[in-house]
Amino acid sequence: MGERHDDASGRVEAFLDALWLEQGASEHTLVAYRRDLTAWAARLAERGETLLAPAPSTLPAWLDERRAAGYRLRSNARLLSSLRRFYRWALEQGLLERDPLAEVRLPRVRPSLPETLEEAEVERLIAAPDVTTDLGLRDRTMLEVLYGAGLRVSELVGLGVEAVNLRQGVVRVRGKGDKDRLVPLGEEAVDWLARYLRTARGALMRDASRPALFPGRDDRPLTRQAFWYRIKAHARVAGIERSLSPHTLRHAFATHLLNHGANLRVVQMLLGHSDLSTTQIYTHVAQARLERLHADHHPRG
């Protein structure tokens, strides 16, 4: 007798609960896994198969159909990763004796290289805000901290005053999965933070006892969207024409550290990545930059 749909749904939800409880997976991650596993369970149900006993040919055939329908190789690779993680969990729970997808393979997907900035471009962007104004000083300080500590924008705007220790030159960051990490700021970021805290922050707030380090409206933390709008405005002032993303300075932070000889595991710790493979993409960024510099400047490039 085949596995009922509600049995499959229950197993998916149990798996997602385990991801959240044991690994602190984000809501975005859980939504992606639920979408992939629900689609897979529906596909199996159409063929009279079960989530825990798919036929060996079902997934390869489905992946081929998806490619023919216009799904990119990366999309199929992400789907396969979701399913493999589910079946690893099922094995650990004793629901399976072997992984039904063990023999399924996809062509290797080269990591996509994030858009980043050269060091001179970063300097121009950071120097763009008008620091004679309170808002400009706030923005300059945010850019210094973002680049100096390699933070995600969500981590930056979520900082409270208590997270900063100027004497030690570090900031305590609440990252993905509610995991805290201490990140050094660097002298420039510390100096700008000290200046900002002495002057502009209080002037931008009605109640300076509120916790937001970088306030927007009503003494609440500046939103990611509002800060991103400010970054794009400053990029125009700096004459930066390439497309930017909210993670551009974080990518630049990692790439520039590696370009100057930083150890990959140190960069992993600073970025708050749980998996070194996530950090390794920046070695490709650094290599691509070196190849471009060689082509541009070597007499035989």
Q: pLDDT tens digits, residue range 129-150?
A: 999 999 999 999 999 999 999 9
Q: Which pLDDT band holds residue 113 (cuts at 50, 70, 90)?
A: low
Domain boundaries, the chain: 5-92, 119-297
Give catalytic status of residue 176 as yes or no.
yes
Question: Rounded CA gap, 44 and 198, in Å?
Answer: 62
Q: Which pLDDT band holds residue 106 (cuts at 50, 70, 90)?
A: low
Question: Rounded CA gap, 125 and 147, in Å?
Answer: 11
Indicate which residue of 234, 250, 251, 256 is catalytic: 250
Average pLDDT, the chain: 86
Give catalytic status of residue 250 as yes or no.
yes
Give catalytic status of residue 256 as yes or no.
no
Least confident of 40-54, 191-205, 275-289: 275-289
Does the domain at residues 5-92 carry the CATH identifier 1.10.150.130?
yes
- For residues 281, 287, 289, 294, the Cα torsion angle rounded to the nearest 10 degrees is -170
Indicate which residue of 84, 85, 176, 224 is catalytic: 176
| Model confidence at 111: pLDDT above 60 | no
Which pLDDT value is given to residue 5? Answer: 47
Question: Rounded CA gap, 254 and 143, in Å?
Answer: 15
157 and 222 Cβ atoms separated by less than 8 Å: yes
| Model confidence at 294: pLDDT above 90 | no
Of all residues in the chain, the percent with pLDDT exceeding 70 is 86
Q: Which comes out higher in pLDDT, residue 79 or 115?
A: 79
Least confident of 10-14, 163-167, 176-180, 293-297: 293-297
Q: Which comes out higher in pLDDT, residue 194 or 74?
A: 194
Which pLDDT value is given to residue 1? Answer: 38
Indicate which residue of 152, 201, 234, 256 is catalytic: 152
Mean pLDDT of 206-218: 95
Q: How many CB atoms lie within 10 A of CB 72?
A: 11
Of all residues in the chain, the percent with pLDDT exceeding 90 is 51
Which pLDDT value is given to residue 137? Answer: 98
The CATH code of domain 119-297 reads 1.10.443.10
Give catalytic status of residue 247 as yes or no.
yes
Q: Which pLDDT band holds residue 179 (cuts at 50, 70, 90)?
A: confident
